[in-house]
């Protein structure tokens, strides 16, 4: 009996709630119909030959040759198509079995599991722009970086910027001319705070505010203005341009005698840190909140404790660089491994931090059998602060496979490690935002993190990841933490610190292993990636609102 070519992609009997079928479903139908058509051709030829035989008609030598010439390639193509379609539907095991999808340039699994429509995604050029800004922020801490550097239209083949002349250095002959081009908002970051996390924050604001990143020396440098016939400085050139500070890193700038009284102060707080005081919140004209938790707490705090400068509070969401896109642009399209949601392998990255839940993660793997392989990347100093030297013996005897990678990676290696991962476990005690989580979302990984803000804002339980059950504790040194020991602390809110045990991490991993299928995990990864792009678009729109506010 021949294949039925009309029923595979026919309309469902029940009313469809969506107005159109998804692109992925259409592509699946097309591929299946293509396969069916191939086999239908073979079936037709076979039917013709059977008919000849039944009617007792002896086909001529020419007719037999013609039939065989068509039959052989049809059989070959049909078998090949069936094999590739079957392995693609099997997912990673099928790919590993045959290794076909890259060998012939196909991306079957991406078509079914990783498709986002064009209107959902942020353009590659914009995401690469973020990476290029971040790269120069990390590597050249004394350079002033304007948003035009590496912007769309200023990118070269190989994922680099082709307009480095726009960067501002101390010895630039046209530095005064560059500096007098004041944006809507300037972004300040001291040279000693160009860490991975703060550069992620800073360049996002630089890009979407169409701003520039200013180091301290620019505020201290005098320039001779030939038009005025006298020396001028930054404060003469941009006396009313708001300046955006990250957390408490103001560098004494606002108390300088040169600071104009009418120059607005904007702040982006990580509300969980102990360094922020009531004076920081009282001393600004605008607060940009990356999370909903921040917005709720800052707004309520001003209601409780007063708002002497009538500071405007913005809920902006936030974004991060996309490590996968950066790797593909630099190393090639196939430099990033395909996601494998069938064979679970976990990644934990802590970097220079001791607050990413590394102890609980390692104890879970060390004392529990049957867990998937775990790779841990952490610098030596925080590792030995968390664990005694003897702990290496426990790791060597771990009941589940663990690999510890000590030391810091360069940016490309780090980006590739994150981009290649399909599963990331990052149960931080607290976060101001969580760039590691967001980069995992950008890469389409399944994330295990703690059920506490803002992590549970970024990862929705069982939709874009798995949440670890925790108890929320209040830190007595955090102004907005719910239990501030000093005056003017926020009242009536729960804690921002997650308290949990290694067993809680294990339970979350077991839920991933036992209660989800590869298809469920692929859907989680897709949802996470979709939310990354959605949040980035929201952030871009919010920055436009901030720019308009700054011009008033």
**155-180 pLDDT per residue, tens:** 999 999 999 999 999 999 999 999 99
Task: Give the span between the Cα atoms of 278 and 304, in whole angstroms.
Answer: 12
What dihedral do alpha carbons 496, 502, 507, 509 form, nearest 10°? Answer: 90
Number of alpha helices (DSSP H) and beta strands (DSSP E) in the chain: 21, 19
Nearest to 350 by CA among 384, 392, 391, 400: 384
- Can you tell me the mean pLDDT for 150-159? 97
Judge whether 182 and 243 are in contact, CB under 8 Å.
no
Which pLDDT band holds residue 7 (cuts at 50, 70, 90)? very low
Question: How confident is residue 98, by pLDDT bands cut at 50, 70 and 90?
Answer: very low
CB-CB contact of 472 with 495 (8 Å): yes
CATH of domain 338-540: 3.40.50.2000
Q: How confident is the model at residue 6 (pLDDT cuts 50, 70, 90)?
A: very low
Task: Return contacts of 222-225, CB within 8 angstroms, 24+ apart.
Answer: 223/175, 223/176, 223/179, 225/176
**454 prior amide bond cis, ω within 30:** yes
Per-residue model confidence as pLDDT tens digits over 10-24: 333 344 344 433 444
Q: In what order do the strands lie in the sheet with 465-468?
A: 402-406, 374-378, 346-351, 423-425, 446-450, 465-468
Please state the domain extents for the chain: 23-113, 124-320, 338-540
- Helix (H, G, I), strand (E, B), or coil: what is residue 551? coil
Of residues 17 and 521, more confidence is placed in 521
Task: Work out the pLDDT band at 65, boundaries 50, 70, 90.
Answer: low
Residue 95, H or E segment: helix 92-98
Q: If you average pLDDT over residues 349-376, what whole number do you get?
A: 97
Beta strand 374-378 pairing with 402-406:
parallel
Encoded tokens for 159: 């994922």
Q: What is the pLDDT of residue 294?
A: 99
- The residues pairing with 498 across neighbouring beta strands, listed in sequence order, are 472
pLDDT-derived band at 59 (thresholds 50, 70, 90) equals low
Residue 425, pLDDT above cutoff 80: yes
Closest CA to 469 of 441, 499, 496: 499
Give the Cα separation of 250 and 245 in Å (integer): 6
Tell me which residue of 276, 290, 283, 213 sits closest to 247, measured CA to CA.
Answer: 276
Whole-angstrom Cα distance, residue 477 to residue 486?
8
Nearest residue to 372 via CA among 501, 514, 467: 514
Quote the CA–CA distance of 212 and 243 in Å, as a whole number.
10
Which residues contact residue 147 at a Cβ distance below 8 angstroms, ignoring those fewer than 6 apart?
133, 183, 206, 207, 209, 210, 211, 212
What is Dmax (Cα atoms) for the chain?
A: 109
On whether the CB atoms of residues 125 and 159 are closer than 8 A, the answer is no
pLDDT of residue 78: 61
> Is it the case that residue 101 has pLDDT exceeding 70?
no
State the pLDDT confidence band at 93, using cuts at 50, 70 and 90.
Answer: very low
Contacts of 434-437 with C-beta under 8 Å, sequence gap 24+, read 434/458, 435/196, 435/197, 435/200, 435/320, 436/349, 436/356
Paired with 466 in beta bridges are 448
Question: Of all residues in the chain, what percent carry a pLDDT higher than 70?
Answer: 79
pLDDT of residue 454: 97
Residue 265: is it exposed, middle or buried by C-beta count within 10 angstroms (0-12/13-18/19+)?
buried
pLDDT (average), residues 133-148 = 97
DSSP conformation class of 453 = T
Contacts for 524 with CB less than 8 Å, ≥ 6 apart: 446, 462, 463, 464, 465, 516
The DSSP element (H or E) to which 507 belongs, if any, is: helix 502-515
| pLDDT over 90 (residue 105) | no
């Amino acid at each position: 009996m021949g294949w039925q070519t009309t029923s595979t992609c026919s309309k469902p009997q029940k009313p469809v709630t969506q107005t159109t079928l998804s692109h992925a479903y259409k592509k699946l139908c097309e591929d299946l119909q293509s396969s069916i058509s191939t086999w239908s051709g073979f079936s037709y030829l076979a039917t013709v030959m059977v008919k000849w035989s039944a009617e007792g008609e002896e086909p001529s030598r020419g007719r037999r040759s013609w039939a065989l010439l068509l039959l052989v390639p049809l059989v070959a193509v049909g078998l090949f198509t069936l094999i590739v379609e079957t392995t693609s539907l099997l997912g990673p095991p099928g790919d590993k079995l045959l290794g076909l999808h890259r060998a012939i340039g196909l991306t079957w699994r991406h078509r079914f599991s990783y498709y986002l429509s064009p209107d959902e995604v942020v353009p590659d050029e914009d995401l690469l722009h973020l990476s290029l800004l971040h790269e120069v922020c990390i590597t050249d801490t004394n350079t002033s970086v304007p948003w035009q550097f590496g912007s769309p239209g200023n990118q070269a083949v190989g994922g680099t910027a082709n307009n480095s002349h726009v960067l501002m250095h101390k010895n630039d002959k046209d530095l005064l001319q560059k500096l007098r081009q004041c944006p809507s908002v300037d972004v300040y970051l001291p040279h000693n705070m160009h860490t991975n996390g703060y550069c992620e924050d800073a360049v996002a604001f630089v890009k979407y505010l169409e701003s520039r990143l200013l180091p301290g020396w620019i505020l201290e440098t005098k320039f001779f203005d030939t038009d005025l016939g006298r020396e001028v400085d930054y404060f003469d050139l941009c006396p009313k341009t708001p300046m955006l500070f990250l957390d408490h890193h103001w560098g004494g700038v606002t108390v300088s005698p040169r600071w104009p009284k009418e120059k607005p102060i904007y702040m982006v707080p990580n509300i969980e840190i102990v360094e922020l005081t009531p004076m920081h919140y009282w001393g600004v004209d605008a607060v940009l909140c990356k999370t909903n938790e921040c917005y709720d707490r800052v707004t309520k705090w001003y209601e409780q404790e007063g708002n002497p400068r009538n500071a405007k509070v913005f809920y902006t969401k936030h974004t991060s660089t996309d490590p996968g896109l950066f790797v593909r642009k630099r190393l090639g399209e196939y430099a990033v491994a395909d996601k494998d949601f069938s064979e679970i392998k976990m990644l934990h990255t802590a970097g220079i931090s001791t607050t990413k839940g590394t102890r609980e993660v390692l104890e879970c793997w060390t004392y529990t059998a049957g867990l998937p392989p775990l790779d841990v990347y952490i610098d030596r100093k925080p590792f030995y602060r968390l664990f005694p030297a003897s702990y290496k013996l426990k790791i060597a005897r771990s009941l589940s496979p663990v690999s510890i990678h000590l030391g810091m990676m360069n940016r490309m290696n780090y980006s590739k490690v994150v981009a290649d991962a399909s599963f990331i476990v990052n149960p931080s005690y607290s976060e101001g935002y969580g760039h590691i989580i967001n980069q995992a979302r950008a890469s389409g990984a399944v994330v295990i993190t703690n059920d506490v803000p803002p992590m549970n804002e970024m990862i929705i339980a069982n939709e874009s990841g798995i949440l670890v059950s925790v108890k929320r504790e209040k830190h007595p040194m955090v102004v907005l933490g719910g239990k501030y020991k000093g005056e003017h602390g926020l009242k009536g809110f729960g804690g921002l610190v997650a308290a949990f045990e290694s067993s809680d991490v294990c339970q979350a991993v077991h839920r991933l292993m036992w209660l989800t299928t590869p298809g469920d995990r692929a859907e989680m990864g897709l949802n996470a990636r979709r939310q990354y792009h959605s949040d980035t678009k929201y952030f871009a729109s919010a920055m436009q609102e901030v720019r308009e506010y700054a011009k008033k």
